[in-house]
Amino acid sequence: AQSVTQLDSQVPVFEEAPVELRCNYSSSVSVYLFWYVQYPNQGLQLLLKYLSGSTLVESINGFEAEFNKSQTSFHLRKPSVHISDTAEYFCAVIRRKAAGNKLTFGGGTRVLVKP
Amino acid sequence: KAGVTQTPRYLIKTRGQQVTLSCSPISGHRSVSWYQQTPGQGLQFLFEYFSETQRNKGNFPGRFSGRQFSNSRSEMNVSTLELGDSALYLCASTEQGTEAFFGQGTRLTVV
């Protein structure tokens, strides 16, 4: 079985400041990793994913995440946040080559960007 | 392509009743998964359907059931509703591989 831990449940941050959201996972098999974002009263939107290749992945809106196999982590960063980044962020994993699409999510991190 | 569509967006039901939620996946996607989101338990996997067959199942009581039709649309049913079933129910569709696309969810309130 897999498990995902997001170490911070809430992160307040000032506009234009950097932010880091921490994610650690546990799995006996190889996994794919994802970050999803959820805005109020909305579903989940994929922010970025790590499947293979370069361990640093980037999104189109300035977020990046780095896969660290030895530390089983997939932390999300943004060098300068905007008010519009206020949302809840979820880290998730899925078994590689699994028969099915069962995502295991972390508990989420609420980011509140203050002006 | 149209996204994942869930209906209805909001529902209020009374304890003991049953409810059916609907999910239309992205055209061409054959896998549909359901998740329950609550403040206390977070996002939990309910079940997944692929080509009309349940492929994976989470750890929920038998009151939660689902099905998938030949056009890949899926429904989930909750019978004998309890207050604790109040949640946001999210549906996700997947073509192949791993990227799941989520609908906006159905918010169920049980009173």
Residue range B51-105, pLDDT digits in tens: 999 999 999 999 999 999 999 999 999 999 999 999 999 999 987 767 899 999 9
Q: Does A60 touch chain B (CB under 8 A)?
A: no
Are A100 and B100 an interchain contact pair (Cβ–Cβ within 8 Å)?
no
Are A103 and B33 an interchain contact pair (Cβ–Cβ within 8 Å)?
yes
Give the span between the Cα atoms of A43 and A37, in whole angstroms: 8
Q: For residue A40, what are its two tokens?
A: 């109020």
Q: Tell me what the mean pLDDT of segment A6-10 comes to.
A: 95
A96 pLDDT band, cuts 50/70/90, is: confident
Residue range A28-73, pLDDT digits in tens: 888 899 999 999 888 999 999 998 888 899 998 899 999 999 999 9
What 8-state DSSP symbol labels residue B69?
-
Which residues of chain A does B31 touch, with a Cβ-Cβ cutoff of 8 Å? 100-101
**A42, HSE (Cβ side, Cα atoms, 13 Å):** 13
- Tokens 């604790």, residue located: B84
Q: Does A42 touch chain B (CB under 8 A)?
A: yes
Residue range A56-68, pLDDT digits in tens: 999 988 999 999 9
B23, B29, B41, B43: best to mutate for the A interface, most A CBs within 10 A: B43
